[in-house]
């Protein structure tokens, strides 16, 4: 196996024996093959469009769900991944029959095989990251592919709310196909990388519209960190439609629903507040789940990544849905637009003890674009009066590495006249610190999930307008972003597309950036890593 798609990749260069995430070589091979056949299918759909033929929504959804399945910590289930490869090959064979001209299709679009051949094909030189020999081309192809994986996750959540953007889907498939095209130069691939960022913005806008039209605009919300006396179900991941269905089905059952990790953002939406059995948030970022799922005592529903391979003690309480999967854990399926049946989880919950309390108190969040715009006058006044000197966008992911304590220390070390804008699970490094407020504005403003980084971009653009600036980089905003998996890659590409410069990325730069590609990012966009807290504070504040 060879995988270097996430920040925790072994030695910063690549997992080769077994994933640091727990992914086994067989699973890694099947995921590589799923990406390969999805690229093949995408070459066929792109050619179909070029011939003026339609590609169905179902095929678009298949491509997104396939990519999402291969995101770090989403799906460890060989059977589920194998089934997706079979489905993709079957779909591709059917579409091939509709083509007038199949002469320019890449090998990946032509290959077909049965389940017994998958392992050998996955191990063949044409499949997987190392199939591209030139390290700069490989780096850019993977950067684009990982960005598209992130974009696919956001598309999938919008699709579950019956929102589609066919242009985003068409681009995703075209770009996937282009990663197989040897005629593209390094410059072409750099341009395609930025174009991916453009569609990243569109994908996040689509999801934002889907979420807010279904559930209202996030609003300032105090979230309880403690527990209640009833048995509970813990819902994790990012899919708000799953949260809605679970809340509906648990109403009146005596079972409470708690959010975990990125699902915390569900607490901020008006539509969910009517449920009295919607309890608080239990636990922290994804990587602490082994201890926290143990003490939760009741069933856990993983709607997406990030799954940590579960301990036997709670494995029978862990359920997956959507793109998520783990061997031996029950998967609950459901088509978009149909109601999933969570009754088995609810029945199990009724037999479980209530959660054990691990924290008390509350946190405040819900600072997505509309809520911040509503406070715009206060915020602008605070900036003009000098009460707020600078904003720090600290969105992104959390992870297990000790080096990530940098972000806690950085948040603590920031002067009291600064405000942190956050989104994603990175916030768990500082959202429970008492960092105070500035004239009633909390010093940590949480917009929501990693895709809600879109909100942070809108807030920056709004401030640019209010202050009459020409360039978003003239604002008193610094970017110190933590990344872990591929959704952070699309967020980064989206920010680059929007013209944001000098983003600091940590705790380490991606292992998939070749030295030359890293240089392009440094020279054109001022991308940098992180240093020590003191040096970085000095750098950002120019003291
Ligand atoms: Fe975190 Fe996991 Fe949102 Fe990621 S829970 S690490 S970037 O999946 O998606 O921030
Ligand atoms: Fe390694 Fe990350 Fe790939 Fe898992 S997802 S195998 S930890 S690089």
Q: How far apart are CA 476 and CA 65, in angstroms?
A: 38
User: What's the ipTM?
Assistant: 0.96
Q: How far is the CA of 387 from the centre of ligand 1 (A)?
A: 32
Q: Where is the domain boundary, 179, 214, 249?
A: 214
Residues 75 and 174 in one domain: yes
Residue 362 carries which DSSP code? Answer: E
Predicted confidence band of residue 371 (pLDDT cuts 50, 70, 90): very high
**In this structure, which residue's CA is closest to atom 6 in ligand 1?**
397
pLDDT band, very low/low/confident/very high, at 236 (cuts 50, 70, 90): very high
CA distance 299 to 322: 17
Mean pLDDT of all residues in the chain?
97
pLDDT digits (tens, 9 = 90+) for 443-469: 999 999 999 999 999 999 999 999 999
- Pocket of ligand 2 contains residue 4 by CB under 6 Å: yes
Are 437 and 443 in contact, with CB atoms under 8 Å apart? yes
State if residue 488 touches ligand 1 by the CB under 6 angstroms criterion. Answer: yes
**Count of the separate structural domains present in the chain:** 3
Task: Clarify whether residues 190 and 290 are in a common domain.
Answer: no
Statement: residue 470 has pLDDT above 80: yes
Give a yes or no: residue 356 inside a domain: no
Q: Residue with structure tokens 């992911």?
A: 397
Is 63 contained in some domain?
Answer: yes
Q: Spell out a b/e string for 369-388, using b for 16 or more CB atoms within 10 Å of the CB, else e.
A: bebbeeeeeebeebbeeebb
How close is the Cα of 163 to the center of ligand 2, in Å? Answer: 31
3-state secondary structure of 332: strand
B/e letters for 96-132, b = 16+ CB within 10 Å, e = fewer, are beebeeeeebbebbebeeeeeebeebbeeeebbbebb
Pair (310, 292) in one structural domain: yes
Write the DSSP assignment of 234-289 as a string of letters: EEESS-HHHHHHHHHHHTTTT-EEEE-GGGGGGGG-GGGTT-TTEEEE-S-SGGGH
Domain with residue 121: its CATH number is 1.20.1270.20
Among 152, 153, 305, say which to mutate for ligand 1: greatest number of ligand atoms within 8 Å of CB.
Answer: 305
Closest-lying ligand to the alpha carbon of 22? 2
Q: Are residues 95 and 240 in the same domain?
A: no
Mean pLDDT of 157-179: 98
CATH code, domain carrying 477: 3.40.50.2030
Please check whether residues 398 and 479 belong to one and the same domain: yes
**Per the domain annotation, does 361 fall within a domain?**
no
Reported as a pLDDT band with limits 50, 70 and 90, residue 179 is very high
Judge whether 39 lies within some domain. Answer: yes
Same domain, 24 and 108: yes
Q: How many angstroms separate the CA atoms of 310 and 300, rounded?
A: 11
Of 30, 112, 20, the closest CA to residue 79 belongs to 30
Give yes or no for residue 305 CB within 6 A of ligand 1: yes
Question: Is the CB of 485 within 6 Å of ligand 1?
Answer: yes
Best mutation site among 306, 323, 449, 481 for ligand 1 pocket (most ligand atoms within 8 Å of CB): 306
Alpha carbon 8 to its chain centroid, in Å, reads 15
Range of the domain at 423: 370-541
- H or E stretch covering 456: helix 453-466
Q: What share of the chain is helix, strand, coil (3-state, %, to 5)?
A: 50, 10, 40
Q: Are residues 311 and 337 in the same domain?
A: yes
| 144's tokens | 């684009």
Rounded to whole angstroms, how far apart are CA atoms 421 and 9? 27
> What SS3 state is found at 217?
coil
Q: Determine the distance separating the centroid of ligand 1 and the alpha carbon of 72, expressed in angstroms.
A: 9
- Ligand 1 close to Cβ of residue 152 (< 6 A): no
Last residue of a domain, one of 350, 383, 399: 350
Residue 509 placed within a domain: yes
With 80 as the cut, is the pLDDT of residue 543 above it? no
Between the alpha carbon of residue 241 and those of residues 107, 162, 208, 233, 298, the distances in Å are 38, 10, 13, 16, 21
- The Cα 412–Cα 376 span in angstroms is 25
Q: Answer with the one of 164, 184, 214 that is the final residue of a domain.
A: 214
- Residue with the smallest CA separation from ligand 2 atom 6 is 19
Residue 259 to residues 52, 322, 338, 541, Cα–Cα distance (Å): 45, 17, 23, 36
Please answer whether residues 173 and 196 qualify as being in contact, where contact means their C-beta atoms are separated by less than 8 angstroms. Answer: no
279-337 pLDDT, tens digit per residue, is 999 999 999 999 999 999 999 999 999 999 999 999 999 999 999 999 999 999 999 99
Domain contains 5: no
The CA radius of gyration of the chain, in Å to the nearest whole number, is: 23
pLDDT digits (tens, 9 = 90+) for 393-402: 999 999 999 9
Residues 230 and 204 in one domain: no
**Is residue 223 lining ligand 2, measured as CB closer than 6 Å?**
no
How far is the centre of ligand 1, averaged over its atoms, from the C-alpha of 481 (Å)?
13
C-beta separation of 439 from 382 below 8 A: yes
Residue to mutate (ligand 2; options 1, 2, 4, 22; most atoms within 8 A of CB): 4
**Ligand 1 nearest atom to the CA of residue 449, by list position:** 3
Residue nearest to atom 5 of ligand 2 (CA): 72
Q: 330 phi and psi, to 5 degrees?
A: -65, 130
Cα 46 to Cα 320: distance, rounded to the nearest angstrom? 32
C-alpha distances in Å from residue 301, one per residue of 160, 257, 445: 17, 10, 27
Q: Kindly report the backbone phi and psi dihedral angles of residue 319, in degrees, each rounded to the nearest multiple of 5, phi listed first.
A: -120, 150
Does the C-beta of 399 come closer than 6 Å to ligand 1? no
User: What's the gap between Cα 291 and its chain centre?
Assistant: 23
What phi and psi, each to the nearest 5 degrees, are found at residue 351?
-90, -5
- Residue 32 above 90 pLDDT? yes
Kindly state whether residue 129 falls inside one of the protein's structural domains: yes
What is the SS3 assignment for 428? Answer: helix
Q: Which pLDDT band holds residue 542 (cuts at 50, 70, 90)?
A: confident
Are residues 135 and 95 part of one domain? yes
Please tell me the distance from the alpha carbon of residue 231 to that of residue 278, in angstroms, as a whole number: 12
Same domain (yes/no): 343, 374: no
Q: Which atom of ligand 2 is nearest to the CA of 9?
A: 8
- Tell me the pLDDT tens digit for each residue of 60-107: 999 999 999 999 999 999 999 999 999 999 999 999 999 999 999 999
Q: Is residue 365 part of a domain?
A: no
Ligand 2: does its nearest atom lie under 6 Å from the Cβ of 73? no
């Amino acid at each position: 196996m060879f995988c270097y798609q996430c920040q925790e990749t072994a030695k910063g260069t690549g997992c080769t024996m077994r994933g640091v995430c727990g992914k086994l070589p067989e699973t890694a091979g099947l995921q590589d093959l799923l990406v390969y056949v999805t690229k093949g299918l995408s070459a066929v759909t792109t050619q179909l469009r070029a011939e003026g033929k339609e590609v169905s929504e179902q095929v678009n959804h298949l491509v997104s769900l396939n990519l999402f399945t291969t995101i770090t910590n989403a799906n460890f289930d060989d059977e589920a991944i194998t089934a997706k490869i079979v489905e993709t090959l079957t779909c591709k064979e059917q579409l091939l029959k509709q083509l007038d001209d199949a002469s320019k299709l890449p090998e990946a679009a032509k290959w077909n095989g049965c389940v017994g051949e998958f392992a050998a094909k996955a191990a063949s030189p044409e499949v997987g990251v190392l199939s591209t020999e030139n390290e700069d081309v490989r780096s850019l192809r993977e950067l684009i592919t990982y960005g598209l994986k992130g974009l696919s996750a956001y598309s999938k959540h919008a699709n579950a709310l019956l929102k589609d953007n066919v242009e985003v889907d068409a681009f995703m498939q075209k770009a996937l196909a282009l990663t197989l095209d040897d005629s593209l130069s390094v410059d072409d691939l750099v341009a395609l990388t930025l174009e991916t960022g453009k569609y990243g913005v569109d994908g996040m806008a689509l999801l934002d519209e889907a979420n807010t039209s279904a559930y209202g605009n996030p609003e300032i919300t105090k979230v309880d960190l403690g527990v209640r006396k009833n048995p509970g179900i813990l819902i994790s991941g990012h899919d708000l439609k799953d949260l809605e269905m679970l809340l509906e089905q648990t109403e009146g059952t005596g079972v409470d629903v708690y959010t975990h990790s990125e699902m915390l953002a569900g607490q901020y939406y008006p539509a969910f507040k009517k449920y009295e059995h919607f309890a608080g948030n239990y636990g922290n970022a994804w990587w602490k789940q082994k201890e926290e799922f143990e003490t939760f005592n009741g069933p856990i529903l993983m709607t997406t990544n990030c799954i940590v391979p579960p301990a036997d003690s709670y494995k029978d309480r862990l359920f997956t849905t959507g793109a998520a999967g783990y061997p031996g854990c029950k998967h609950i399926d459901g088509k978009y637009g149909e109601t999933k049946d969570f009754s088995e989880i609810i029945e199990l919950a009724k037999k479980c003890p209530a959660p054990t309390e691990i924290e008390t108190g509350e946190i405040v969040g819900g600072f997505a674009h509309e809520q911040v715009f509503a406070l715009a006058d206060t915020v602008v006044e605070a900036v003009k009066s000098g009460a707020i000197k600078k904003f720090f966008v600290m969105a992104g992911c959390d992870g297990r590495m000790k080096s990530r304590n940098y972000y806690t220390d950085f948040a603590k070390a920031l002067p009291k006249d600064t405000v942190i804008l956050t989104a994603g699970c990175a916030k768990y490094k500082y959202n429970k610190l008492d960092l105070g407020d500035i004239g009633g504005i909390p010093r940590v403003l949480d917009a929501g999930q990693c895709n809600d980084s879109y909100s942070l971009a809108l807030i920056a653009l709004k401030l640019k307008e209010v202050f009459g600036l020409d360039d978003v980089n003239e604002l008193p905003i610094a970017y110190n972003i933590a990344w872990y998996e591929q959704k952070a890659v699309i967020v980064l590409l989206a920010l680059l597309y929007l013209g944001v410069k000098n983003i600091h990325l940590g705790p380490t730069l991606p292992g998939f950036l070749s030295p030359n590609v890293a240089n392009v990012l440094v020279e054109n966009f001022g991308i940098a890593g992180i240093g020590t807290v003191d040096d970085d504070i000095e750098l950002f504040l120019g003291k």
